[in-house]
């Protein structure tokens, strides 16, 4: 099943010339998912703590 948010990410990145950069898209998608699941504050804290 296609993730509509991921499809949107891909189209946005393609517009920026980043659509072919799978690592960038995967990282961004993971970050967005973490923010959705944990909230922005918890996600940023995890990144600062090296857990992201």
52 has a pLDDT exceeding 60? no
CB 2 within 8 A of CB 8: no
Residue pair 44/34 in contact (Cβ under 8 Å)? The answer is no
Other beta carbons less than 10 A from residue 47's beta carbon: 12
Q: pTM (2 decimals)?
A: 0.46
Q: Is pLDDT at 18 greater than 70 in this prediction?
A: no
Burial of 48 (0-12, 13-18, 19+ CB in 10 A): exposed
Do the Cβ atoms of 29 and 18 come closer than 8 Å? no
Judge whether residue 47 has pLDDT over 60. yes
In the numeric block, the tokens 């857990």 are attached to 51
């Amino acid at each position: 099943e296609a993730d509509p948010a991921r499809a949107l990410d891909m189209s946005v990145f393609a517009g920026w010339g980043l659509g072919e950069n799978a690592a960038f898209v995967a990282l961004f998608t993971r970050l967005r998912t973490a923010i959705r699941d944990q909230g922005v504050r918890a996600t940023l804290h995890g990144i600062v703590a090296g857990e992201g």
